[in-house]
Amino acid sequence: MQGVLVFLELWLALLPIQAAPSSHLIHRAPRLLPERALQANESYDGSCTWTDCTKWNLLSSNVNFRLIFRPTVTSTEVRPPQSLILPVDTIDELSSAECGPCAADADAFRRLTLNTGLVNETEAAIFGTDFCSVSFIVCIRLPDGAEGYLMLLWDQMDQVDRWAASLRREGKTVPFPSEVYELEAILGLWIWSIPFEGQLTEDIGNLATLRLLALEHTHMYGRLPASLGNLTSLKVLSIVGSLQEVTFSGLLPPARLQSLDFLWIMDTSFGGSLDELANLTQLKYVHLRRPGLRLSHVPSTLGPNLTSLTLSDVGLSGPLSDGFGSTWPYLLGLDLSDNQLSGPLPSALDNAMNLTYIELCCQGGTNGGFQGRLPAEWGSLTKLEFLDLEQNNLTGAIPEQWVNLSSLQTLNLGHNGLSGTLEALGMLRNLKDLYLSNNQFIGQVPDGLGECRNLMFFSAAYNQLSGSLRAALGKATDIRGIELCCQEETNGGFEGSLPAEWGSLTKLEFLNLRENNLTGAIPEQWGNLSLLWGLDLRTNRLSGTLDAIGWLPNLWELSLGNNR
Ligand SMILES: *[C@@H]1O[C@H](CO)[C@@H](O)[C@H](O)[C@H]1NC(C)=O
Ligand SMILES: *[C@@H]1O[C@H](CO)[C@@H](O)[C@H](O)[C@H]1NC(C)=O
Ligand SMILES: *[C@@H]1O[C@H](CO)[C@@H](O)[C@H](O)[C@H]1NC(C)=O
Ligand SMILES: *[C@@H]1O[C@H](CO)[C@@H](O)[C@H](O)[C@H]1NC(C)=O
Ligand SMILES: *[C@@H]1O[C@H](CO)[C@@H](O)[C@H](O)[C@H]1NC(C)=O
Ligand SMILES: *[C@@H]1O[C@H](CO)[C@@H](O)[C@H](O)[C@H]1NC(C)=O
Ligand SMILES: *[C@@H]1O[C@H](CO)[C@@H](O)[C@H](O)[C@H]1NC(C)=O
Ligand SMILES: *[C@@H]1O[C@H](CO)[C@@H](O)[C@H](O)[C@H]1NC(C)=O
Ligand SMILES: *[C@@H]1O[C@H](CO)[C@@H](O)[C@H](O)[C@H]1NC(C)=O
Ligand SMILES: *[C@@H]1O[C@H](CO)[C@@H](O)[C@H](O)[C@H]1NC(C)=O
C-alpha cells in the first residue's frame, strides 16, 4: 500500500485547499455545488462598479469559494440572477451618504469593536464619520430594495486577521459581543474563524432585517435560541462548529423560517430531528455534514426546488426510496457520502438533467454499501462533472451508455466489485481524475485515454488488467500520476516492454507499475521525465541498466527490487 499512500500524498500536495483525512484518494472537501471559484483573471474587470473593488473582489471570490450565496459564475458564463440569496453581481454598493439606515448603528459598532479590541479609540471614530468605508463592513442595496450592510468578520481580512491572530497567539477568546443584538440595519452577519465564545441569546430574534446568519469556526456553543424562528427574512443560515468538544448542541429551534433558502450545519452536536427547524419545502440548498443529528431517512419534506443536497455522516441507512431524485428537476449536486446506505443506486436521478455532482462514496466500508449495477440511465447526465462511488459493493460492467458522460472530469469507482473492460472510459474526453483501483476490471487501458488531454491522475491498481502498456497514453501529456500496480493475481498483469512514448509525459511525477509482468529495459526516452519523483517498478521481469533515469533531477523514491 506504500505506493497508494505516496500517490495520495502527491494528490493532496497539488490541492490548494486543506484535505479531509480519509483513506481514499478523492479529495472531498465540503462543497455544495461543483462550481469553481473565480480565477485570478476573472475579477469582473470593467463590471465592478463599486468604489472599492477590493471589497467586491473579496466578497465575490469568497462567496464563490464558500458557495454560501448562489454562485453566479460558471466556467463558461455569467448567469443572470435568478433568485435572491445575495447574488453578488446584482448587489449595489452604497456609500455612507447613500446608506440611510446604516448611520443608526454607528454607536453600537463603536462599542462592539472597542469592547472586543478589534479597533482602538482613534480608529473607532470612523464609524461616526464614514461607516461604510470600514474594511469589514459592506454597505449594500439588494435587488428587492432592502438597504443595510454586511458585517464580515473573516479572519483573512487584514484588520480582522491581525486582531484574530493576536488573540489566537495569546490563546484568548472573546465573549460574543452583545452589541450585535442592537444592530438595526444589519443584512448579513458572517463570522468565520474568530475566537468568539459563549452562546447566542434570545436577543438574536431582534435582528429582523437579517438575511444571512453564518457562525462558522468560532468557540461558541449551546443551543440555538427559539427566537431564531422569528427571523422571517432569513435566507441563509450557516452554523459550523469548532471541531472542539464544546460546540452548538441541543434541539434545533422549532421555527417557521419561511424565507430560508439555504441551510448549512456542519461539525455540530445537534440532536432531534431536522423537521423542527423549518418547513423544508422551499429550501434549495441543504448541507448537513456531521451535524450531530441522526436522520434515519432523507426528509420527505424536501421540495421540488431543491438544488443541492448534502446529507453526509448523518446515519442514513437502508435503501433509498423508489424513484429517489425523480422529483428534483433542478438538482445540481447530491452528496450522501459517509452513511450506511445500501440497495441499488438511485437510477431516477437521470430526471435531474442538469446534475453536475454526485458523491455517494463510503457507505459503511466493506459492510454493505450500494449494491448492484451502475445505472445505464445515468448515461444521459451529460452535464455530470463529478461522480464518486468509491467504497460500495457495486458489480457488473461500466454501462455502454456512459460514453455519453461527456462532461465528466472526476470519476471514482474504486473499492467495489466492478468488472468488464475500461473501453467506454476512453470516450470521456474531459476526464481529469480517474480512480478505478480495487475492482476486477480486465483487458487493456483503452487507447482513448490518451485523447483525454486534461487527464491528471489515473489509478487502476489492484485489478486484473493485462496486455501491453499502450503507447497511446503517452499523448495525455498533462498527466501527473499513473498507478497501475498489482494486476498480476489472475491474468498475470501487464506484459511486454515499457512504452518509450511515455517519455513525452513530461509532467509525470509518480508512476507505479509494481507487480506486473513487464520485460525489457527502461527506455532512454524516459530520461525526459524530469518531474518524476516516484517510480516503482518492483516485481516485474525488467532488465538492462538505469542509465536513462539515472540523472532525473527530482527522483527520490525509486523502487526496483525483484527484477533482473
Ligand atoms: C483565464 O485563464 C485561463 C487559464 O489561464 C484561460 O483558459 C481563460 O481563458 C482565461 N479567461 C479569461 C476571461 O481571460
Ligand atoms: C490605533 O491604531 C492605529 C493603527 O493600528 C495606530 O496607528 C494608532 O497609533 C493607534 N492609536 C492609539 C491611540 O493607540
Ligand atoms: C420571538 O420568538 C420568541 C420565542 O419563540 C417568542 O416568544 C416571541 O413572541 C417572538 N417575538 C416576535 C416579535 O415574534
Ligand atoms: C409546515 O407548514 C404547514 C402549513 O404552512 C403548517 O401547518 C405546519 O405546522 C408546518 N410544519 C412545521 C414543522 O412547521
Ligand atoms: C419553487 O420556486 C418557484 C419559483 O421561484 C416558486 O414559485 C414556488 O413556490 C417554489 N416552490 C416551493 C415549494 O417553494
Ligand atoms: C438545465 O440547464 C439549461 C441550460 O442551463 C436550462 O435552460 C434548463 O432550464 C435547466 N433545466 C432545469 C430543469 O433546471
Ligand atoms: C455485496 O453484495 C452481495 C450481493 O450482490 C452480497 O452477497 C454481499 O454480502 C455484499 N457484500 C457485503 C460486504 O455486504
Ligand atoms: C448517446 O447519446 C446520443 C444522443 O442522445 C444517443 O443517440 C446515443 O444512443 C447515446 N449512446 C449510448 C451508447 O447510449
Ligand atoms: C509473464 O509473461 C510471460 C510471457 O512474456 C508468460 O510466459 C508468463 O506466463 C507470464 N507470467 C504470468 C504470471 O502470467
Ligand atoms: C527529450 O525531449 C526532447 C525534446 O522534446 C527530444 O528532442 C529528445 O529526443 C528527448 N530525449 C529522449 C531521450 O527521448
The tens-digit pLDDT sequence of the chain (564 residues) is 333 333 333 333 333 222 232 333 333 332 332 333 344 444 444 345 566 666 766 666 655 444 443 333 333 333 333 334 565 656 777 888 989 899 999 999 999 999 999 999 998 999 999 998 888 898 988 878 889 999 988 876 678 888 999 998 998 999 999 999 999 999 999 898 899 999 999 999 999 999 999 999 899 999 999 999 889 999 889 999 875 677 999 988 877 788 888 888 999 999 988 877 767 888 888 889 999 999 988 988 898 999 889 999 999 999 999 999 999 999 988 999 999 999 999 999 999 999 988 999 999 755 589 999 999 999 999 999 999 999 999 999 999 999 999 999 999 999 999 999 999 999 999 999 999 999 999 999 999 999 999 999 999 999 999 999 999 999 999 999 999 999 977 778 999 999 999 999 999 999 999 999 999 999 999 999 999 999 999 999 998 888 888 778 888 788 887 787
Tell me which amino acid residue 130 is.
Answer: D
Residue type, 391: Q
Judge contact between 546 and 523, C-beta under 8 A.
no
Ligand 4 contact via 256 beta carbon (within 6 Å): yes
- Please give the model's pTM, rounded to 2 decimal places: 0.85
Q: Which residues pair with 410 in a beta bridge?
A: 386, 433
Ligand 9 atom with the smallest distance to the CA of 541 is 1
- Domains defined for the chain, CATH in brackets: 419-563 (3.80.10.10)
What distances in angstroms separate CA 552 from CA 498, 525, 529, 533, one per listed residue? 17, 12, 7, 8
**Which residue has a Cα nearest atom 14 of ligand 3?**
230
| Residue having the nearest C-alpha atom to atom 9 of ligand 10 | 525
Grid coordinates belonging to 454? 486534461
CA-to-CA distance for 8 and 38, rounded, in angstroms? 27
Q: How far is CA 254 from CA 235, 276, 284, in A?
A: 16, 5, 19
Tell me what pLDDT residue 523 has.
93
pLDDT for res 545: 84
Q: Please tell me the number of the ligand nearest to residue 76's CA.
A: 1
Mutate to test the pocket of ligand 7, among 342, 366, 393, 439 (most ligand atoms within 8 A of CB): 393
Listed in sequence order, the residues at least 6 apart from 145 whose beta carbon sits closer than 8 Å to its beta carbon are none
| CA 468 from centroid of its chain's CA atoms | 37
pLDDT of residue 8: 38
Which of 254, 248, 245 lies closest to 273, judged by CA? 254
Ligand 7 centre distance from Cα of residue 73 (Å): 43
Residue 365, phi then psi, degrees to nearest 5: 55, -125
The number of angstroms, rounded, from the C-alpha of 491 to the middle of its chain's C-alpha atoms is 38
Ligand 6 pocket test, pick from 328, 354, 355, 407 with the greatest ligand atom count within 8 Å of Cβ, gives 354
Instruction: Among 380, 403, 404, 405, name the best residue to mutate to test ligand 8's pocket (greatest count of ligand atoms within 8 A of Cβ).
Output: 404
Contact criterion met (CB below 8 Å) for 147 and 76: no
Q: For position 74, what pLDDT does the model report? A: 34
Side-chain-side CA neighbours of 260 within 13 Å: the count stands at 27
What ligand has the least distance to the C-alpha of 540? 9
DSSP 438-498: SSEEEEPPPGGGGG-TT--EEE--SSEE-EEPPGGGGG-TT--EEE----HHHH--EEEEP
Q: 341 pairs with which residues across the strands?
A: 318
Nearest ligand 8 atom, CA 376? 14
Give the SS3 label for residue 541. Answer: strand
Please name which ligand lies nearest the alpha carbon of 418.
7
DSSP tag of 231:
-
Cβ of 282 closer than 6 Å to ligand 9, yes or no, is no
Q: Ligand 1, closest atom to CA 41?
A: 1
- Which pLDDT score is estimated for 196? 93
Ligand that comes closest to the CA of residue 166: 2
Which residues, other chains included, contact 148 with Cβ-Cβ below 8 Å and sequence gap of 6+?
A: 99, 101, 102, 139, 140, 185, 186, 187, 209
Instruction: Give, for 322, the enclosing helix (H) or strand (E).
Output: none
Q: Whose CA is nearest to atom 10 of ligand 6?
A: 354
Distance between CA atoms of residues 121 and 522, nearest Å: 71
